[in-house]
């Protein structure tokens, strides 16, 4: 009986963790959302960086999975906004993009030249396409 309560409490803690998925491609959002649910977390969805920032401010997710190229506000700008705001800089970000990591880092360096604050590298960078097992393992690494 006590063991069952401990397991139930642990499951509730896992389910309480929210993962914000920000991608303009509905198929990618669906795929990533399925992986997030399959490993026991709650997905939240946003179709661009502008909507993503709004959801971060409202929901304060435990993890953000972020695409780079999107309409309205790009993932580069959203990432920079997250990492330079002390309220949100502790939220781990997994970049999930078809753009090579070195291209993303060059973009960040260019933005740093115009800003006053350097931006750290993302906690993880996964290039599309990605296998569900690799994505799930990366998510668990930050939320377990």
Is residue 5 a part of any domain in this protein? Answer: no
| 45 in Cβ contact with 29 (< 8 Å) | yes
4 found inside a domain: no
Yes or no: say if 39 and 136 are a contact pair by the CB < 8 Å rule: yes
Whole-number percent of the chain with pLDDT over 70 = 81
Q: Is the pLDDT of residue 144 over 70?
A: yes
Is 8 domain-assigned?
no
The answer to whether 39 and 19 have CB atoms below 8 angstroms apart is no
CB burial class (10 A; 0-12, 13-18, 19+) of residue 32?
A: buried
- 43 in a domain, yes or no? yes
Does any domain span residue 97?
yes
pLDDT score of 120: 79
Q: Please tell me the pTM assigned to this model.
A: 0.83
Q: Is 124:135 a contact under the CB 8 Å cutoff?
A: no
SS3 68: coil
> pLDDT tens for residues 22-72?
999 999 999 999 999 999 999 999 999 999 999 999 999 999 999 988 888
Number of domains in the chain: 1
| 93 in any annotated domain | yes
Do the domain assignments include residue 109?
A: yes
pLDDT band at 136 (very low <50, low <70, confident <90, very high): very high
CATH assignment of the domain containing 120:
3.40.50.2300
d(CA 109, CA 60): 27
Domain that holds residue 42: 17-143
Tell me the two tokens of residue 39.
């490993």
- Ranked by mean pLDDT, the top range of 68-72, 83-87, 110-114 is 83-87
């Amino acid at each position: 009986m006590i063991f069952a309560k401990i397991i139930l409490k642990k499951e509730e803690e896992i389910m309480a963790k929210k993962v914000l998925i920000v991608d303009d491609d509905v198929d990618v959002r669906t795929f990533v959302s399925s992986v997030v649910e399959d490993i026991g977390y709650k997905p939240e969805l946003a179709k661009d960086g502008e909507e993503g920032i709004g959801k971060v401010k409202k929901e304060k997710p435990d993890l953000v999975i972020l695409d780079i190229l999107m309409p309205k506000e790009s993932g580069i700008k959203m990432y920079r906004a997250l990492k330079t705001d002390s309220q949100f800089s502790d939220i781990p970000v997994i970049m999930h993009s078809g753009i090579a990591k070195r291209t993303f880092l060059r973009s960040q360096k260019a933005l740093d030249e115009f800003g006053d604050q350097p931006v750290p590298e993302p906690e993880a960078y996964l290039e599309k396409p990605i296998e569900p097992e690799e994505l799930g393992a990366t998510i668990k690494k930050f939320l377990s």
